[in-house]
Structures are given as structure tokens and as C-alpha cells.
Amino acid sequence: MAAVSNFGDEIKADRKYSEFSAWHYVNFPADKDYKDVEPSEYGDLVIGINKCIEIITSEVSSKEDKAFYLKFLVHLIGDLHQPMHIGRLEDKGGNDIQLQWFGRGSNLHRVWDSNMIDDYGMSFTELSNSLPKISKQEVKQIQKGDIYVWIEETQEITNEVYDSVEVGEKLGYQYSYRWWNTVENQLLKGGIRLAAMLNDIFK
């Protein structure tokens, strides 16, 4: 599963798949719920996740389609937990908030998508092995709700993340130290909720 988890990003390099590019995120105002706003005509994370589930569970979809959308679903449940993927439209989920990351140009989206995780210096296997160990009750608690509830929860973090920086700020160890717990927790919740979703789909 780890080997396919980045599939959704890999296909971005191929224009053949451009129709899926808006599925990775959903942008809406900080004080609104997803269900209060008109969905984007290009699709969004919710539309993408629901489409994946529809195709995977349909009796008429091909084996190839089921494999494609299953790989995509694994990716999208991860994206749902990255705060900058539940972002603000006006700055493209932090992409337009330019910052310095260890002395190099970056932006708030990239700090959360890759800089913090890459510079933590663990392989993905090491990282997943080092995530906090939690009880069965905690797993159950985390799995409660649905994608709309999970998006609301991520959005609360998004709002704090937007408040955590000034445009042009020089970020480094201190920022990572402040937020690493959140990064780990979001990775953990993403995995545990993906498991719940797959259990439900293949029950």
C-alpha cells in the first residue's frame, strides 16, 4: 500500500490525467462547512473520494478501473489530513504564501506537503514505525464520523496553521518542533481512517 500511496501525485506529470488534478484538495472559507459552499466545477477532494468509492464498489466497473481508483483513494485519504489541502481559495491552499525554509524559497503548502517530512530525515518505513502506538479504543474513536467530519477537523488545524506564519518568514527547526506532533498525528489518523474506509468498502 505504501508503494501506491503516492500514485495520485505521480500521474500529475501526465496530461492525460489532468481531469483529476483538482481532486487532491478542497478550498473554502475558514468559517464555513464544506456542505455550505457550491462545489468547484473542476471537482474537489470530496467529489474525488466519493467517485473512487462509487467505482470501486460498482458491479459494472472493470478490474483496471477498480485498481486505478483504489490507488487514488489511498492517496486522497492522506491528502484529506494535510491541513493545506483543506485550504483557502485565495492563496491556493498556501501555495501563494511565500516563505523561507532553512534559507531557501518555499511556501506554506510545500512546507506541509514535503519540507517538514523530508527534512525530518526518516524513511517512510521508519516514520510509520515510529508513529505513536494507540489503543483499540483510541482507534475506534479516531474512526468515528465520515469524510465531512474529518474535513472539519482538519480545517481547524488549517486555521491554526494559517495563523502560525507571516508572509516571507524564515522557518526552520523551531517551526518543525512546534508542528511535528501534528504532522505525526495527521499521518496516523489518515492511516487509521483509510483502514476503516477499506474495511467498509470490502466488508
Establish if 85 lies at the interface with ligand ADE (CB under 6 A).
yes
- Nearest approach, Cβ of 99 to ligand ADE (angstroms)? 16
Site string for ligand ADE, 94-113 (x = CB under 6 A): -x-------------x----
128, 57 Cβ separation under 8 angstroms: no
Alpha helices in the chain (DSSP H): 7-10, 45-57, 63-80, 108-110, 116-120, 124-129, 136-143, 147-163, 173-201
Contact partner, 190, from ligand ADE, Zn ion, none, Cβ < 5-8 Å per class: none
155, 87 Cβ separation under 8 angstroms: no
Q: Is 11 helix (H, G, I), strand (E, B) or coil?
A: helix
From the list 20, 16, 153, 27, the residue with the least C-alpha distance to 75 is 20
Measured between alpha carbons, how far is 131 from 145 in angstroms, rounded to an integer?
22
- Nearest approach, Cβ of 95 to ligand ADE (angstroms)? 6
**Contacts to ligand ADE from residues 26-65, by CB under 6 A:** 27
- Shorter beta-carbon distance to ligand ADE: residue 158 or 176: 158
Contact partner, 176, from ligand ADE, Zn ion, none, Cβ < 5-8 Å per class: none
Establish if 113 lies at the interface with Zn ion (CB under 5 A).
no
Site string for Zn ion, 67-86 (x = CB under 5 A): ------------x-------
Give DSSP secondary structure letters for 116-134: HHHHHT--HHHHHHTSPP-
Establish if 24 lies at the interface with Zn ion (CB under 5 A).
yes
In the complex, which residues of this chain contact Zn ion (CB under 5 A)? 8-9, 24, 79
In the complex, which residues of this chain contact ligand ADE (CB under 6 A)? 24-25, 27, 84-85, 87, 92-93, 95, 109
